[in-house]
Amino acid sequence: FFEPPAPQVDPVMKNRTLAIFLALFAGSAFGWTPMTMSAPSKGSVSRRAILSSPLILAFPLVANAAVDACPKGANNCVEGAWTAPAGMKGSEASASLKSVLDAYPQEGQAGVDEGGWKYAVEDLAGKGYARLEVSSSGKGNFAKFLNGGKPFVDDLEVSLEDGVAKFRSKSRTGDSDFGVNGKRVAYISTGLKAKGWAGP
């Protein structure tokens, strides 16, 4: 017999539902009876206050996008994390990180990324995620003989959550990046450290 697949449950909504359930019953300790949905007595905690409590807010509706780890043994990928200064708010951290990314030179630096870059995804202020597509000049012998004379394209991904920006810079082609990803990350790290961030 055909057995239909089990329905997929979004883990974020599952956790939020559980948090609401726990918060509603916790409200009974303050004079509100959740089973009867009766109005709170004088001096008790309202349902609105309970639903806006830290317990509920700890489970946001929108989950941050994740950055995958580099493949094991990969020679064309660099990963790590930058940490925002202590006390910096989330909105400030995303704005600070974006300002450093925006300042990455379109003409490249240290002999790499001379083909410019663009945001493929930019939602640091929302989901805390961004992905940059960075290109080589396409003029070198490696591009000529290994990539048909076309620029090599790398991806720099960043995921910011709770003041920690995890990153991965990876080449799309080739087994080795000849240090390109490392130079890119080092440049961005210098800019972030000038703003008080810690990292590689």
Q: Which residues does 47 contact at the CB level (< 8 Å), separation at least 6?
A: 24, 27, 32, 40
Sheet strand arrangement including 153-161? 77-83, 164-171, 153-161, 129-135, 117-123
Judge whether 59 and 71 are in contact, CB under 8 Å.
no
For 24-65, how does the pLDDT look when each residue is reduced to its tens digit (9 = 90+)?
444 444 444 443 444 444 554 544 454 444 543 443 434 456
Q: Which residues does 153 contact at the CB level (< 8 Å), separation at least 6?
A: 133, 134, 135, 136, 172, 173
Read off the pLDDT of each residue in 96-120 and give the average, rounded to a whole number: 95
Q: How confident is the model at residue 87 (pLDDT cuts 50, 70, 90)?
A: very high
Question: Exposure of 119 by Cβ count < 10 A (0-12 exposed, 13-18 middle, 19+ buried)?
Answer: middle
The span from the CA of 195 to the CA of 181, in Å, is 22
Read off the pLDDT of each residue in 106-130 and give the average, rounded to a whole number: 95
Q: Which residues does 136 contact at the CB level (< 8 Å), separation at least 6?
A: 112, 113, 114, 115, 143, 151, 152, 153, 180
The span from the CA of 77 to the CA of 85, in Å, is 26
For 149-190, how does the pLDDT look when each residue is reduced to its tens digit (9 = 90+)?
566 899 999 999 999 999 999 999 877 788 999 999 999 999
Read off the pLDDT of each residue in 138-145 and give the average, rounded to a whole number: 53
